Structure 1
Amino acid sequence: MKIKSLKLVYFSPTGTTKAIIQGVARGISHGAVELIDITKANARKQQLQTLENELLIVAVPVYMGRVPALLNEWLHTIKAHNTPAVCIAVYGNREYDDALLELKDTLIECGCIPIAGAAYIGEHSFSTPEMPIAEARPDASDLNHAELFGRKINEKLLSISSLDQSYDIKIPGNYPYGGITKVWSVDFIAINNNCTQCGICSEVCPVDAIDSKNSNSIDNEKCITCCACIKNCPQNARTIKDSPVKDVAIRLNKLYKERKEPVFFF
């Protein structure tokens, strides 16, 4: 089966999901690649349409075992026409639970035909130098695996003349989906005197929860606890303070030290 173009859709506040999907694209090695970054709120106002001669790869982070609610809203607006699709979930070394299955089902509802799926590990949003959780992942081994996954996707496409010859991929998960789609509304960010009001935190926030003129002003109702503002602060002025988020970080650091490895499904 010949693919005319490759569309890469990803939500990646801290860059881990983007690194994985780009690794997969390198493995596929197609000349026509379109990057569709839906991390920023404005990007999620645009509807995506795909055709049967395009390959759609969608990569999302796992939040509390599920596809984040704000992504589900956008994903359900995709208009596809028998488009071959690959679903990828990136999680912080705990579990991906039902998120990958949920993503697969959503893409089917939109008119896609999933041909492969995978779960990768990225540094957890709550990870800090003091409480590392999957620190510095995806690493070289993860990215090599992503490229291998891309090559196998390419091999599968070349082995079939049409999607009629493809089979339903079996993705682990349960019905009804477990986990939680909505994230907490919680005050968890401490801001110290190193803050220069440079505005980078506001720029990287995927939900416009930080006032562009006053970075101390955070809308906790909008915040999705992605910690992009913390990880991207050039002055290290933002940290996780004593809060339910810090309690979870301590627990994850303690219980999930053992390295987990990526898996794929065809």
Structure 2
Amino acid sequence: MDIRSLKLAYFSPTGTTAAIVEAIAEGLGYDVAEDADITMPQARQEPLHASADELLVVAVPVYGGRIPLLLEPWLRSLQLDGTPVVCVVVFGNRAFEDALIELADIVTGQGGVVLGGAAFIGEHSFSSDKYPVAVARPDADDLRGAEDFGRKVRQALDALADIDEAPKPAIPGDRPYKERTPRGPVDFISVGEECVLCGVCAEQCPVGAIDEADFKSTDPEKCIMCCACIKVCPEHARSAKSGSPVEGFAKWLNGNCAERKEPAYFL
């Protein structure tokens, strides 16, 4: 197939998904026509269009075995016209469950043709010095694997005369998807005396949950527990409150999901 250009779309509050997408793009070797980082709210106001002679890579983190609920409206605004698509999810070394098949289903419903999918591992959002989970992933091996995956997708595309010839990848997952775990607001962010009110946390929050008039205040109604504010704080002033549900789950992950998991590819 003659692919004119590459479009990238990804949600990456802590940078792990972005790193995987960059490596895949390197392996694909196409010119990037559009880099749609939809992490920040304003970026999710514009729908993405892609045609049959463009390749779209769409990548999201896994939240509780599903795609992030907040991304559904944007994903369902995709305007695709027989567009070849690669679906990617990134999970925190526990499981990706139904997230990849859910993403593929939405993309297909918007007019895309799913060529393949992949599930990569990133450091868990709840990982901390006290309870580390998949620290520093994606690592060099993960990124090499992502680049190699990109090369394999390119080879598969180059071998096709037409998108209709593309075999349907066997992407794992269940329909109906796993039920989302209901939860109310969780006030779990602790801000220490190290805070210098620099505002980096508010700048990086993907849902505007941090009060720009009071950087120490986080709205639990808006917060999606991505922990981006904790990861980006230059003073290490933010953390999960001791005894909070987030710290409790981090402890469980540390004890039950310590064994290294490897990426999975579906072409």
Name the TM tier (shorter chain). Answer: over 0.9
Look up the equivalent residue of 1:257 and give its one-letter code: A
Asked whether the equivalents of residues 27 and 150 of structure 1 are also in contact (C-alpha less than 8 Å), the reply is yes
Structure 1 partner of 2:15: 15
CA distance in 1, matches of 2:190, 2:179: 28
Structure 2: give runs of 5+ residues left out of the alignment. Answer: none
CA distance in 1, matches of 2:179, 2:61: 14
1:29 Cα deviation from its structure 2 partner? 1.1
Structure 1 partner of 2:257: 256
Look up the equivalent residue of 2:260 and give its one-letter code: R
Structure 1 partner of 2:201: 201
Structure 1: give runs of 5+ residues left out of the alignment. Answer: none
Query: What's the CA shift string for 1:8-31, capped at 9, x where partnerless?
Result: 100000000000000000001112
3-state secondary structure, aligned to 2:215? strand
CA distance in 2, matches of 1:183, 1:91: 20
Query: What's the CA shift string for 1:28-86, capped at 9, x where partnerless?
Result: 11123421000000000001111000000000000000001111111001111000000
1:183 Cα deviation from its structure 2 partner? 6.0
3-state secondary structure, aligned to 2:44? helix
CA distance in 1, matches of 2:62, 2:173: 13
Asked whether the equivalents of residues 16 and 138 of structure 1 are also in contact (C-alpha less than 8 Å), the reply is yes
Query: What's the CA shift string for 1:109-168, capped at 9, x where partnerless?
Result: 000000010000000000011111000000000000000000000000000011111111
Write the mapping of 1:178-193 to structure 2, written as runs, cut at 5 A: 178-180=178-180, 184-193=184-193
Structure 1 partner of 2:142: 142
Structure 2 partner of 1:225: 225
Asked whether the equivalents of residues 100 and 171 of structure 1 are also in contact (C-alpha less than 8 Å), the reply is yes
1:180 Cα deviation from its structure 2 partner? 1.5
Query: What's the CA shift string for 1:175-230, capped at 9, x where partnerless?
Result: 11004276652000100111111000000000000011211121111100000000
Structure 2 partner of 1:52: 52
Structure 1 partner of 2:92: 92
CA distance in 2, matches of 1:190, 1:8: 35
Structure 1 partner of 2:82: 82
Write the mapping of 1:61-72 to structure 2, written as runs, cut at 5 A: 61-72=61-72
3-state secondary structure, aligned to 1:217? coil
3-state secondary structure, aligned to 1:206? coil
CA distance in 2, matches of 1:179, 1:4: 39
3-state secondary structure, aligned to 1:185? coil
Asked whether the equivalents of residues 65 and 179 of structure 1 are also in contact (C-alpha less than 8 Å), the reply is no
3-state secondary structure, aligned to 1:100? helix
Please provide the CA RMSD for this pair.
1.0
CA distance in 2, matches of 1:83, 1:152: 18
User: Any runs of at least 4 consecutive aligned residues in structure 1 with deviations exceeding 3 A, and if so which?
Assistant: 181-184
Residues 184 and 2 from structure 1, CA distance in 2 versus in 1: closer, same or farther, beyond 3 angstroms? farther
CA distance in 2, matches of 1:245, 1:51: 41
Look up the equivalent residue of 2:19 and give its one-letter code: A
Which stretch of the first structure deviates more once superposed, 25-34 or 142-151? Answer: 25-34
Structure 1 partner of 2:129: 129
Structure 2 partner of 1:246: 247
Write the mapping of 1:93-172 to structure 2, written as runs, cut at 5 A: 93-172=93-172
How many equivalent residue pairs? Answer: 266
Asked whether the equivalents of residues 69 and 181 of structure 1 are also in contact (C-alpha less than 8 Å), the reply is no
Which stretch of the first structure deviates more once superposed, 33-42 or 8-17? Answer: 33-42
Asked whether the equivalents of residues 11 and 61 of structure 1 are also in contact (C-alpha less than 8 Å), the reply is yes
Look up the equivalent residue of 2:35 and give its one-letter code: L
3-state secondary structure, aligned to 2:217? strand
Look up the equivalent residue of 1:160 and give its one-letter code: L
